[in-house]
Structure 1
Amino acid sequence: MMLKGIPLLIAAAAFLAGACLGSGRASAVEIAVSCGSMGQELELCRQGAEAWAKQTGNSVRLVPTPESATERLAYYQQLLAGQAPDIDVYLLDVVWPGILASHFVDLKPYSKGQEKEHFPAIVDNNTVDGKLIAMPFFTDAGLLYYRRDLLEKYGLGVPETWEDMTNAAKKIQAAERQAGHDRMWGFVFQGRAYEGLTANALEWVDSFGGGTIVDAEGNVTVDNPQAAAALKLAQSWIKDIAPEGVLNYSEEEARGVFQAGDAVFMRNWPYAWALTNGGDSPVRGKVGVAALPRGGDKGKHTGVLGGWNLAVSRYSRHPEIAASLVMYLTGSAEQKRRAIVGAFNPTMPALYQDADVLKANPFLKSLYSTFTDAVARPSRVTGEQYNRVSYAFWDAVHGVLAGQAEPEQALSSLERDLKRLGRRGW
């Protein structure tokens, strides 16, 4: 009788195992995701990933990464070169697809056409050799933050040119210090020698009509009088309207000074809006946002295209499930939530007409063209060489800001170096 009962027990066990698999629980997997480095960015990522996990029955593990984009890229390259499965979903800067494309799966088989809901320019940026290697997560462009109350106090308008901004910063800084605010500075920005300085400096150069370092045809164009004039003005800010410490500021250091009430103007990305207007912010309700100034009367308003994207590693053990997480996090509902809670710019045009999004971020409507017409860094044309191009550019600019070289000298040397690099092939 016992022998006859064994097949029945096996059959029952098989039935129960099948029932568990059908429920999605026994087959649940853990997906490791890198989608934020710290603070609100990391918390919003965690919330979104956990909501997906609850919906699908899988689990997620957030992988901490360096805050600096430069350090994060180096960390990614180390993992990917070793084909490590440690991270399933990677957060990619908008300038990285050309550098890292070979390490990520084509998402088109998993997207079900979802990419058509996003800005075409970002989708094109993320498409390499016909493969959609990343989905748009949020977009960015550099913006000018200003103390609305201080401009009103001193009878000044929002600056249209960098020269206007410089003069307004000097006037307010001097008056506030005379009134006892010894720590007041006119302008803070991202001056550390890293990718953030490439973004800032390209905004200065392009706003003066000095081009984009390397043009769309691959020609090095950075050594020109307009670029030199832009850097000369920026050099004059240091220790005048900007603290010398700005040479080591990233986004958060600049925001810290501005949000503490110790700066009149700040260049930063849109994420800073929600934080400067947070409940514990000393400048809550006193901040305005505008397009970055023009480079002189003949210049243009320019913000560098930024933003981040989500990609699935070729070395993931569960690429299909990882892709499901990517589609959830980059979908309309999650992008709307992130825009309202954290001021992360959606990559879907439809959300720029959403009443809830606009209520939380009133500047989005008036600055829509700033995001859609943002100037791109030359990452597509320089491909895998972009990191070297950017390093050479920010290093040269940092030397100018630190007073170690004059703009004309630095740009001439930079152009020679980039041409040598370009001869090896972009």
Structure 2
Amino acid sequence: MLLASACGGGNDESSGGTSTGGALEGRGPINFATGKDTSGNLTNQVAAWNSQHPDEKVTVSELPESADQQRAQMISNAQNKSDAFSVLNLDVVWTAEFAANRWVTELPPDQFPDLGKLLPSTVDTAKYRDKLYGIPVTSDGGLLYYRKDLLDKAGLQPPKTWEEMVTACAKVKALPEGKNVGCYSGQFEKYEGLTVNFSEAVNGAGGVVVGDDGKPNVDTPEALAGLTALTEGFKTGFIPKAAITYKEEEGRRAFQEGNLLFHRNWPYVYAKAQATDGSSKIAGKFAVAPLPGQTGAGVSTLGGHNYAISEFAKNKATAADFMKFMSSEERQKANIEKTSQAPTWASLYDDPTLNKQFPYLAPLKASIEGAKSRPKVVKYGDVTTAIQEAAYGALTGTMTPKDALAGLQTKLSSLITQ
């Protein structure tokens, strides 16, 4: 029922998505709705706020791990005009939908003076029709995690193309230490992660899902090359069969257990894979590189999360201050030190201490700055569902990549209107 409500109904782009953008009023306790805290550090961040604001305490409502289920519960809450959620932790691609449907409050930019110190691409994700509806707290760029110890053993450098990655895996599997290691995985379960991985495959082959003109353009030779690389990966075993069920955490666990040579995932994985408490079998044995593409460097899909204020929330002044607190340079630095999640403050990528602790920061910044956004559309729920259906059909062999892309082009053309 929740998923049905998420994909249907609501206003379309003609609603305008305009809020007052006026003063944010009301102080007192608030509720923070967020996805499952896989980092383990959110409790510390919220506790830091609560210790300083005993009369404006924040209670965390932890939603499911799946982004699709998070979105569904937030939409259900909004459609019921419930004040149960005050601050929403939104995936960056939900901004247009939540703003156009007036589920979140327009924010006065002058109340958030640090926006100019954030990476410009992250601020852009929080806007709809040039108006501000969220505050970027974490960003995300896809990275290629790889077993450096095994590549070194085979005398190899990290791959820059998909073909180099395939060749490297064959050489590593010829080693006694690598014969039982799977080659590669990303996120291929039928959920938002598949939209991300499909988009990266298409963009990395020189194609687009939606062009700069806002029109879908996915039935192309470039898109076909990207999707075919994934389907052939499953057919040949380069991508293990089990990966069709992988979301972020399943893939992370497989990599940490030593079952994968290459793994596409987000920055948060670094801290967990490097843990020395016995939870990771590959601590000290892996490194990070940019995503490979078809003929050269790949293209990440832009990820991350923005905090927004529910239109139906009480105590919006407290909510705004909590968002400023959580997005501050101090809190973002504390968060990356504990979780390796990508910050939105530009200065943190140049921090010498952080670069020593997290040597991937330079390629991560490049990944974020060169990343492509998913379609910025009001009917995003329907659009991502269509992408997932097409990609999953091709990966599981129920349709050819060419037919999947042709059908997706038709579907997206009916969903995305200018």
Which TM-score applies when normalising by structure 2? Answer: 0.89
Q: How big is each residue's C-alpha offset from its partner over 1:92-146, in whole Å with a ceiling of 9 and x where there is no partner?
A: 0010000101211223267341212212222122122343211001100111000
Corresponding residue number in structure 2 for 1:186: 183
Corresponding residue number in structure 2 for 1:224: 220
The count of residues paired between Structure 1 and Structure 2 equals: 387
CA contact (8 A) 1:173 1:241 kept: no
| In 1: Cα distance, 2:264 partner to 2:364 partner | 15
> What stretches of structure 1 of length at least 5 have no aligned partner?
1-26
Which of 385, 399, 419 in structure 1 is aligned with 2:413? 419
| In 1: Cα distance, 2:264 partner to 2:374 partner | 17
Q: How big is each residue's C-alpha offset from its partner over 1:317-340, in whole Å with a ceiling of 9 and x where there is no partner?
A: 110011111110011100001111
Which of 39, 44, 50 in structure 2 is aligned with 1:47? 44
Greater share of residues in helix = 1
Quote the offset at 1:34 in angstroms: 2.1
**What root-mean-square deviation, in Å, do the aligned CA atoms of Structure 1 and Structure 2 show?**
1.8
Corresponding residue number in structure 2 for 1:376: 373
Corresponding residue number in structure 1 for 2:387: 393
Corresponding residue number in structure 2 for 1:8: none
Which of 307, 328, 336 in structure 2 is aligned with 1:331? 328
| In 2: Cα distance, 1:110 partner to 1:317 partner | 21
Aligned with 1:229: secondary structure? helix
Aligned with 2:281: secondary structure? coil
Matched AA of 1:288:
A
Change (3 A) 1:395 1:92: same
Matched AA of 1:132:
L
Work out whether 1:129 is the aligned partner of 2:129. Answer: yes
Work out whether 1:201 is the aligned partner of 2:198. Answer: yes
Which TM-score applies when normalising by structure 1? Answer: 0.87
Corresponding residue number in structure 1 for 2:234: 238
| In 2: Cα distance, 1:35 partner to 1:70 partner | 12
| In 1: Cα distance, 2:122 partner to 2:292 partner | 24
Corresponding residue number in structure 1 for 2:271: 274
Which of 251, 254, 278 in structure 2 is aligned with 1:254? 251
Structure having the higher Rg: 1
Matched AA of 2:356:
K
Corresponding residue number in structure 2 for 1:69: 67
| In 2: Cα distance, 1:113 partner to 1:126 partner | 15
Change (3 A) 1:155 1:300: closer
| In 1: Cα distance, 2:119 partner to 2:187 partner | 27
Matched AA of 1:190:
Q
Percent of aligned positions that are identical? 33
CA contact (8 A) 1:49 1:325 kept: no
Corresponding residue number in structure 2 for 1:215: 211
Matched AA of 1:401:
L
Aligned with 1:392: secondary structure? helix
Work out whether 1:302 is the aligned partner of 2:296. Answer: no
| In 1: Cα distance, 2:105 partner to 2:227 partner | 40
Change (3 A) 1:180 1:397: closer
Paired residues for 1:358-377 under 5 Å: 358-377=355-374
Quote the offset at 1:368 in angstroms: 2.2
CA contact (8 A) 1:207 1:294 kept: yes
Work out whether 1:404 is the aligned partner of 2:398. Answer: yes
| In 1: Cα distance, 2:363 partner to 2:408 partner | 37
